[in-house]
Structure 1
Amino acid sequence: MDETFDLSVEHPVDASPEDCFDAFVALYDSDRPDWVTGSELDLRVGGRWHVRFHPAPDPPFREERTLTDVHRGVELGYHARIQDDAGHERFATRVLVTFAPGAGGTTLRLTQTGFDDEATRDEFAANWPGVLEEVGRRAQRLGG
């Protein structure tokens, strides 16, 4: 039996799908929090997205992302190679974020697949809800 260690997170936001998409991208690119220490983005399918993180007290790391899905207000997907700060690859995953419109705004849905073990998946699963909440706060400000 093959065991998978995928994760899925959902968060409702009182904002448009387009504002949620823009807030997600900006969180890692132009309007970064302190724990995102660098970013270079080519926002197109096949584009590269280099992101550096330092989520203290954890050690710094980086993600080398290749964008697979870019539809503003609909979805954003990428393959990510997670590396230590020296550039040594730890593992690779695939992330897909969808922005589903609804009566109350937008439901952000994030799935991340390809984890090798439960502990690594759980490390990411512990952080994504807070990230999506922050995206929601920023999206609501964008929509004014």
Structure 2
Amino acid sequence: MSNDPIRTPDLTDRPYRLTAERAMEASPETLYRAWTDRLDTWFAAPGSVLMPAVEVNTPFFFETEYRFQSEEPARRHPHYGRFLRLKRPELVELTWVTGAGGTEGAETVVTVELAPHAGGTHLHLTHAGFPHDKARDRTADAWPMVLEQLDRQTAA
């Protein structure tokens, strides 16, 4: 693990944030692994994850693919980031950078808190540092669908 200081993004001029919560069927440990070393099983396009290690200060890259219309080719959306805090199996915090239609190049921060609840997990996600309310609102609409997909994939 790197001994370099962790440089968290300065979100002072980007106060737009959102939260999403969901009761998940899987355990906190399973969800922690999904967010760290198993992104390609539920979110990232298979074969696109570049993550040399799951450690604080470690950068990563992956792509998602989404088809807006069934007859269209899938569009690729690159995601870049680095881990800021990791506390197994309770917390994953990472930076999140995407392009148009996402963070618009702003380095945002995603914090995923995992707590045991009713035989599964209560997942609380905060996504902070959007450049404006429109970027936040687009992403706020997407996170519930992403968490539903995560729940389906990890419950199996």
Q: When the two structures are aligned, how many residues end up with a matched partner? A: 134
Match of 1:121 among 132, 136, 143: 136
TM-score (norm 2): 0.73
Deviates more, 1:17-26 or 1:67-76: 17-26
In terms of fraction of residues, the more strand-rich structure is 1
1:111 to 126, 130, 147: 126
Change (3 A) 1:70 1:138: same
Residue 36 in structure 1 maps to residue 71 in structure 2: no
> 2:38 matched to 1:24?
no
TM-score (norm 1): 0.79
Q: Choose the corresponding residue for 2:17, options 1, 6, 9.
A: 6
| Equivalent runs, 1:1-144 vs 2, <5 Å | 4-25=15-36, 28-29=39-40, 31-32=41-42, 36=45, 38-41=48-51, 42-57=53-68, 59-83=75-99, 90-141=105-156
Whole-angstrom CA distance in 1 between matches of 2:81 and 2:142: 18
Q: Which amino acid aligns with 2:78?
A: R
Give the drift of 1:40.
0.9
SS at match of 1:39: coil
1:27–1:125 distance in 2 versus 1, CA, 3 Å: farther
Report % sequence identity: 26
Q: Deviation per CA, 1:29-59, whole angstroms, max 9, x where unpaired?
A: 3x255x6361111211111110122322385
Classify the secondary structure of the residue corresponding to 1:110: strand
- Kept in 2: contact 1:23–1:138 (CA 8 A): no
> How well do the aligned residues superpose, as a CA RMSD in angstroms?
2.4
Gap regions ≥5 residues in structure 2: 1-12, 69-73
- CA separation in 2, counterparts of 1:27 and 1:56? 22
Cα distance in 2 for partners of 1:23, 1:64 equals 17
Q: After TM superposition, which residue ranges in structure 1, 4 or more long, deviate above 3 angstroms?
A: 24-27
- SS of residue matched to 1:22: helix
- In structure 1, give the amino acid aligned to 2:113: T
